[in-house]
Chain A
Amino acid sequence: MVSDFAAVAVFLGLGVGFVLITFLLAKLVSPSAPNAIKNSTYECGETPFGSAWIQFNVRFYIFALIFVVFDVEAVFLFPWAIAYRSLGLFAFVEMLVFIAILIFGLLYAWRKGVLKWY
């Protein structure tokens, strides 16, 4: 069982190692000649202005919270999906009720206009 996760560990190791080795290699072989323009933040060719440390708009937060609510819902979907075949229609109705209750929340947020981006 645990050994099934050995593949995850290998992927994790390869992923971290790939980034580290690439950075190390770049540091070793690339010539270092910095200037003010090179050191500036790359914003797809735009001239960066101001600090990145600004106060973000509070409206982002409501989207984050709605995501969290449906993220928790998704966690419950997994054991439901595994048990679904043995429980049949009853489980289906139960999950329908579960999701319907949450849909009311989403509808409420929608009707209150917090999903709208001016």
Chain B
Amino acid sequence: MDTISLAFYALAFLIIAAAIFVVTSKNIFHSAIYLILALFGVAGIYVLLQAPFLAAAQVLIYVGAVSMLMIFAIMLTARIADQTIRHTNEQVPTGLLVSLGLLAVIVYSLWQTPFAISSDPMPEGAGGTLGKLLLTQFALPFEIVSVLLLGALIGAVVIAKKDSVRREPEAPMTPLPKSAEKVAG
């Protein structure tokens, strides 16, 4: 087995194992951590597929940003420590049936699709080509992305503002005890 296949199987094992831990882990915070591991493995798969820009975007956006948002959402959840909160699915048989059906559909469509394999060499510096296309042919969608992000930002501000106003009576931070005046090292 060559190195590429070895790397692929190692990454596939990592992703599947991490994904199983995501759904079976008892602590929702641990699930989030395992999800980061799975997403990181997907970035490795992108590298193997010779798409380093996609891998970098995966690490920056999914591993860096999306997972962080999830961890924030968990930490902001009220009564997170209560043992009564269950996040394991009670409908395992139904879920299994649905996911097996989905698997069958995916395998069937993969089987039926004739994948054209190009014999051309990989274009050097795909990131540069992407950048050139983004700034010339797709200049308008590129700028619209900015507007979309602006919308997300303003929406977040509006929602968070409303929420923090409602919470105003509560003390925003736990007052430090007297002993905190000692120099923390």
**Chain A residues within 8 Å of B, Cβ to Cβ:** 1-2, 5-6, 8-9, 43-47, 49, 51, 53-62, 64-69, 71-76, 78-84, 86-87, 90-91, 94-95, 97-99, 101-102, 104-106, 108-109, 112-114, 117-118
**Is B150 close to A, CB under 8 A?**
yes
Give the secondary structure class of A's interface: helix
**Chain B residues within 8 Å of A, Cβ to Cβ:** 3-4, 7, 47-48, 50, 52-53, 56-57, 60-61, 64-66, 68-69, 72-73, 75-81, 122, 125, 127-132, 134-136, 139, 142-143, 145-147, 149-150, 152-154, 156-157, 160-161, 163-164, 167, 172-173, 177, 179-180, 182, 184-185
Q: Tell me the complex Cα distance, A24–B66, Å.
A: 32
Interface centre among B3, B56, B156, B163 (most CB of A within 10 A): B156
Contacts A44-B185, A76-B145, A79-B53; is A87 near B157 (CB within 8 Å)?
no
Does A1 lie within 8 Å of B131, measured CB to CB?
no
Does A97 lie within 8 Å of B143, measured CB to CB?
yes
Does B154 lie within 8 Å of A78, measured CB to CB?
no
Q: How many A-B residue pairs have CB under 8 A?
A: 171
Not counting A71-B64, A75-B61, A114-B157, a sample of 11 additional A-B residue pairs whose C-beta atoms are within 8 angstroms of each other reads A2-B47, A43-B184, A55-B79, A61-B73, A64-B68, A65-B69, A71-B65, A82-B131, A83-B134, A97-B146, A105-B153
Does B184 lie within 8 Å of A90, measured CB to CB?
no
Give the secondary structure class of B's interface: helix
